[in-house]
């Protein structure tokens, strides 16, 4: 409970009358009147508030794409007094970026009032949304009384996608509009009955309309790739990468690349690794493969050990019978260059390796920044050493035959998709 202006004025009047009573006996006991009004009023409000309740319902998306802002609605309703004044402090789980806001409410009997809170998830997982702190003004406007509405809402944070996944997977797990790139193929060998798992791009819609059933085109030669996404979930993945951590960025890039591969009818698989290889999904085509990959990515957590890409490469080499495009999402600086180099040697020349790492934009900007204090030159020297080490690691990996991308966090997604499209177009794999 916290007092409002009416109660504070009565308390002030009590004090003034008490002081006057010390000076003039005529005012001796007048202070009792406002004091009694305060106590009786608060007692009355306390009794009245026991029977009043504010209802609450939380309305928002069941799934929240990682790193993408969404809106949650708080719906308040009360059935007691004709009009109730209240204040609500809206908040989000600690794993979401959102500004806590305090909003006033005027709740008429039976009417629903909606408040909105925009939040951006920063970590994968399932999170129970905290209820807002709510306080209601008493009928005499003497005090604010806490209210505890009951509501339950759980937000599930999933990997983000490029557009509408319904276009490739037939489910309703995302939003937006899918963009399709033309795949490569040669002449049509024959038309055949549609088989489960065939790409939408393979369907001949005119022939399907004529026959009254789905018909697929079988091509004489198709540029179909097999891709394995190797995602580092070691301790370095907990470092920040813009608004989310590196693991979140890797997961988003992997989910989007899997989506694009399915659109182009390429097979895609997944390997999670830290100190040792963890989960391995063999490359497969179609909606089922993408769904399985997204499910595993959604459950990813950072593990305490240092990632070992060499052991991950050894696992791929031992289990992959055909040539793969191995997309290795890891840190090129914090991971030992010796282990990364060994991973490239183990994968090549049979497999084509694309290593995707991050540049820290804050560190990259230090050498050219205007000195702000006496330590600025030392920070600039450290940043220059960081840049030289990173450049040297990239040069060493490329010399071993691995395509290597080092991008800022906001550019990594686009760079990886562009590289995949380029390799496919140039038949590098």
Average pLDDT of the residues of the chain:
85
Measured CA to CA, the distance from residue 225 to residue 266 in angstroms comes to 5
The answer to whether 139 and 52 are in contact (CB under 8 A) is no
pLDDT band at 257 (very low <50, low <70, confident <90, very high): very high
Give the pLDDT confidence score for residue 103 in this predicted structure.
92
Q: What is the DSSP string of 239-284?
A: SEETTEEHHHHHHHHHHHHHHHHHHTT-EEEEEEESSSEEEEEEEE
DSSP for residue 155: E
Phi and psi of 309, rounded to 5°? -65, -25
Q: Are strands 2-3 and 63-65 parallel, antiparallel or unpaired?
A: unpaired
The answer to whether 267 and 308 are in contact (CB under 8 A) is no
Query: Which residues, in sequence order, are bridge partners of residue 48?
Result: none
Query: Which residues, in sequence order, are bridge partners of residue 119?
Result: 70
Measured CA to CA, the distance from residue 27 to residue 33 in angstroms comes to 11
Q: What is the pLDDT of residues 218-229, one digit of tens each?
A: 664 455 789 999
Give the pLDDT confidence score for residue 170 in this predicted structure.
38
The answer to whether 133 and 227 are in contact (CB under 8 A) is no
pLDDT band at 295 (very low <50, low <70, confident <90, very high): very high
DSSP for residue 112: -
The answer to whether 349 and 374 are in contact (CB under 8 A) is no
Measured CA to CA, the distance from residue 427 to residue 429 in angstroms comes to 5
In this predicted structure, the answer to whether residue 61 has a pLDDT above a threshold of 80 is yes
Give the pLDDT confidence score for residue 195 in this predicted structure.
77
Task: For residue 32, give both structure tokens.
Answer: 């009792």
Give the pLDDT confidence score for residue 183 in this predicted structure.
42
Region 151-170 average pLDDT: 71
Give the pLDDT confidence score for residue 273 in this predicted structure.
95
The answer to whether 213 and 372 are in contact (CB under 8 A) is no
Region 261-268 average pLDDT: 91
Short-list 296, 172, 288, 308, CA closest to 235 = 308
Give the pLDDT confidence score for residue 376 in this predicted structure.
73
Give the pLDDT confidence score for residue 200 in this predicted structure.
78
Q: Which helix (H) or strand (E) covers residue 74, if one does?
A: strand 70-78
Measured CA to CA, the distance from residue 363 to residue 404 in angstroms comes to 20
The answer to whether 67 and 244 are in contact (CB under 8 A) is yes
Region 247-275 average pLDDT: 93
Measured CA to CA, the distance from residue 367 to residue 388 in angstroms comes to 12
Give the pLDDT confidence score for residue 29 in this predicted structure.
82
Q: What is the pLDDT of residues 65-94, one digit of tens each?
A: 999 999 999 999 998 888 899 999 999 999
In this predicted structure, the answer to whether residue 388 has a pLDDT above a threshold of 70 is yes
Q: What is the pLDDT of residues 332-382, one digit of tens each?
A: 876 678 899 999 999 988 999 999 998 877 776 666 666 677 777 777 787
Whole-angstrom CA distances from 176 to 14, 34, 160, 165, 354 are 63, 62, 11, 9, 28
Give the pLDDT confidence score for residue 178 in this predicted structure.
35
Burial 113-149 (b: 16+ CB within 10 A, else e): bebebebbbbbbbebebebbebbbbbebebbbbebeb
HSE-up (13 A, CA, CB side) for residue 130: 15
- Calculated CA dihedral for residues 181, 300, 172, 215, nearest 10 degrees: 50
Of 213-217, 307-311, 335-339, the range with the lowest mean pLDDT is 335-339
Residue 405's contacts (CB-CB under 8 Å, 6 or more residues apart) are: 354, 355, 356, 357, 412, 415, 416, 419
Q: What is the pLDDT of residues 188-197, one digit of tens each?
A: 656 878 877 6
2.60.120.200, 1.10.3720.10, 2.60.40.10, 3.20.20.70: CATH of 54-158: 2.60.40.10
Region 260-271 average pLDDT: 92
Measured CA to CA, the distance from residue 400 to residue 246 in angstroms comes to 25
Q: What is the pLDDT of residues 108-128, one digit of tens each?
A: 988 999 999 999 999 999 999
HSE-up (13 A, CA, CB side) for residue 43: 6
Give the pLDDT confidence score for residue 305 in this predicted structure.
87
Residue 40's contacts (CB-CB under 8 Å, 6 or more residues apart) are: none
Give the pLDDT confidence score for residue 335 in this predicted structure.
64
Measured CA to CA, the distance from residue 58 to residue 73 in angstroms comes to 6
Q: pTM of the prediction?
A: 0.74
Region 258-270 average pLDDT: 92
Task: For residue 398, give both structure tokens.
Answer: 């490329």
Instruction: Identify the CATH class of 166-179+223-426.
Output: alpha beta
**How much of the chain, in percent, has pLDDT values that exceed 70?**
89
pLDDT band at 185 (very low <50, low <70, confident <90, very high): very low
Higher-pLDDT residue of 196, 137 = 137
């Amino acid at each position: 409970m916290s007092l409002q202006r009416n109660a504070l004025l009565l308390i002030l009047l009590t004090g003034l009358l008490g002081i006057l009573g010390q000076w003039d006996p005529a005012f001796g006991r007048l202070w009792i009147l406002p004091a009694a009004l305060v106590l009786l009023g608060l007692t009355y409000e306390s009794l009245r508030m026991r029977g009043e309740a504010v209802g609450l319902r939380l309305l928002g998306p069941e799934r929240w794409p990682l790193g993408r802002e969404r809106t949650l609605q708080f719906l308040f309703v009360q059935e007691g007094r004709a009009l109730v004044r209240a204040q609500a402090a809206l908040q989000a789980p600690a794993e979401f970026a959102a500004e806590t806001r305090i909003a006033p409410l005027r709740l008429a009997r039976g009417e629903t009032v909606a408040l909105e809170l925009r939040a951006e998830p920063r970590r994968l997982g399932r999170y129970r949304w905290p209820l807002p702190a709510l306080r209601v003004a008493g009928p005499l406007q003497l005090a604010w009384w806490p209210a505890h509405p009951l509501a339950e809402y759980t937000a599930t944070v999933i990997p983000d996608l490029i557009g509408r996944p319904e276009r490739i997977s037939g489910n309703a797990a995302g939003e937006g509009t899918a963009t399709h790139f033309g795949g490569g193929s040669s002449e049509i060998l024959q038309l055949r009955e549609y088989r489960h798992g065939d790409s939408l791009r393979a369907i001949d819609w005119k022939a399907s309309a004529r026959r009254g059933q789905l018909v697929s085109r079988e091509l004489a030669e198709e540029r179909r790739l097999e891709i394995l996404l190797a995602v580092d979930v070691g301790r370095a993945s907990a470092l920040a990468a813009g608004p989310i951590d590196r693991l979140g960025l890797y997961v988003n890039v992997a989910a989007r690349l899997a989506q694009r591969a399915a659109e182009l009818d390429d097979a895609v698989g997944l390997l999670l690794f830290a100190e040792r290889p963890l989960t391995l999904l063999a490359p497969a085509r179609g909606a089922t493969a993408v769904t399985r990959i997204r499910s595993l990515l959604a459950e990813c957590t950072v593990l305490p050990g240092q990632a070992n890409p060499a052991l991950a490469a050894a696992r791929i080499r031992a289990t992959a019978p055909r040539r793969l495009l191995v997309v290795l999402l890891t840190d090129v600086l914090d991971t030992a260059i010796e282990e990364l180099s060994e991973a490239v040697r183990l994968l090549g020349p049979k497999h084509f390796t694309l290593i995707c790492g991050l540049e820290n934009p804050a560190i990259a900007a230090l050498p050219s920044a205007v000195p702000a204090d006496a330590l600025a030159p030392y920070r600039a020297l450290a940043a220059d050493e960081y840049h030289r080490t990173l450049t040297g690691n990239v040069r060493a990996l490329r010399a071993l035959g691995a395509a290597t991308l080092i991008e800022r966090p906001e550019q990594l997604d686009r760079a990886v998709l562009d590289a995949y499209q380029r390799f496919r177009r140039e038949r590098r794999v």
